[in-house]
Structure 1
């Protein structure tokens, strides 16, 4: 489990604007397989993270995230912009590993050990790591510790789910913080905007950390429409009046839309 000391969200929103982040790299998720290494953490058949650096909290312990989560090295975490991206990971040792790949969702960052030094590394939940093995060899594979793997981006799929926005604790009429959930397709976000009631202007939000974005100013008046743009392919989706006028902190509001693939 990786535990990160987080500054108060309000300070982060002021001092880490999205425009200060590294330039976005456009283009479709890669279909090529690339080399990496992998380990596992948590209990042998467990879900891995209890929360994680992306900010999904207890959602990682339930479906559709459950047992499919993974922490990645900084090269894939991208300062939090890689949160929500989905990857297929495949073990290379045919003496013990199955030919199938497992699909994992990035919910956490692993900053040290095998994840340091610019390496590309996946630290998978015990359950996801075990699924790389042939039948009956899961424990043997776990006992090997670090293994060579290949990986590639893949479309995220959340059947029956639409994009949802959780209003983070502490949000008020001069500061709105949103966590994005269940984004089909690319899975990651490159930018996010909100539009207030009675306005035609889209206001750009700042990337705080992980899958969390915020907007300072105001007073901000709902209902709010939300526009999200993916990082990988710059696809855009707008959810009209998805957050009602009587919104409340810690509530989650689900849109009627998604990037269906």
Structure 2
């Protein structure tokens, strides 16, 4: 789909500056919480009134089926997915077709990848519920019938009221191979780096990005309780002390007493 950008000759320098911002947005779209809107396209998938993916390429599993993620999930193409580094980020998406769309934006959380989406522009594949919510009242199904839409989007802060950051120990984890998934991260929502600290140690061991929103470390035997330190794409850092107990279990989730302020 072609996108047309209006500009005036007398504002050429401003237009060129905006074009540079948009181009760098395509390369590093999640490095700042940017208040500006950028052009893109959107489609929808799953059931018409559904939540979109069942699980998804970020690895959040059944969390996408329940609030606060329920019906707010979104899949994105490679520009924003970035091999999983974009998982957890939140965006506002607004439809540009005023004949059928309201002025309100829908907030979506990146939980899935759209492998067939274009790589030369920003594309969102939203849940049917989120896509329809952009319509004028009573025109949800008519909007979904349109298929692909021109949209504008911007990064926004993730908000999980009443939730603290939790760490899910992935299935297959052992004292020699430990894999974690981070849940309900306020603010930036994404993870740029992750470290773990063993019981009785002052050293922070760097974890590796495994896939989606999953991180792991190989060593051992690793001794709990474990402290976990997160850094987001904008450089915010949080350390949860002894959040994973010494007698941890695979497939268990351990909730911290902390979250990023927003």
* SS at 1:47 equivalent: coil
TM-score when normalising by structure 1: 0.88
Q: 1:179 aligns to what SS in structure 2? A: strand
1:105-144 matched pairs, under 5 angstroms: 105-112=109-116, 115-144=117-146
The 1:24–1:238 alpha-carbon spacing in structure 2 relative to 1, beyond 3 Å, is farther
Note the residue ranges of structure 1 that are not aligned, 5 or more in a row: 1-22
- The corresponding residue for 2:256 is 255
Q: 1:185 to 1:45 in 2, by over 3 A?
A: same
**What is the Cα deviation at residue 116 of structure 1?**
2.1
Alignment: residue pair count? 236
State how far apart, in whole Å, the 2-side matches of 1:140 and 1:52 are.
Answer: 26
How far off is 1:31 after superposition? 1.1
Shift of 1:25: 8.2
Poorly superposed stretches of 4+, deviation over 6 Å: 23-26
Structure with the bigger RCO (C-alpha within 8 Å, sep 6+) is 1
Is the 8 Å Cα contact of residues 79 and 119 (structure 2) preserved in structure 1? Answer: no
Q: What is aligned with 2:79?
A: 75
Q: Which residue of the other structure, out of 23, 44, 48, is the alignment partner of 1:44?
A: 48
Instruction: Please say if 1:33 is aligned against 2:34.
Output: no
TM-score where L is the length of structure 2:
0.88
CA root-mean-square deviation: 1.3
Shift of 1:117: 3.5
Which residue of structure 2 aligns with residue 14 of structure 1?
none
The answer for the alignment partner of 1:245 in structure 2 is 246
Question: Aligned equivalents of 2:200 and 2:224: distance in 1?
Answer: 9
1:213 alignment partner in structure 2: 215
For residues 24 and 100 of structure 1, the distance between their equivalents in structure 2, rounded to whole angstroms, comes to 26
Alpha-carbon separation, structure 2, partners of 1:74 and 1:160: 32
- Give, in whole Å, the separation in 2 of the partners of 1:72 and 1:110: 5
Structure showing greater radius of gyration is 2
Deviation (angstroms), 1:136: 1.1
The yes-or-no answer on 1:95 pairing with 2:99 is yes
Instruction: List runs of 5+ in structure 2 lacking aligned partners.
Output: 1-26
Alpha-carbon distance between aligned partners in 1 of 2:28 and 2:126, rounded to the nearest angstrom: 26
**Maintained 8 Å contact 1:173/1:220:** yes
Contact 1:56 1:107 in 2 (8 A): yes
| CA-CA distance at 1:90 after TM superposition | 0.2
Counterparts of 1:121-200 in structure 2 under 5 Å?
Answer: 121-200=123-202
Tell me if structure 1 keeps the 8 A contact 2:30–2:80.
Answer: no
TM-aligned CA distance change 1:105 to 1:27, over 3 Å: closer
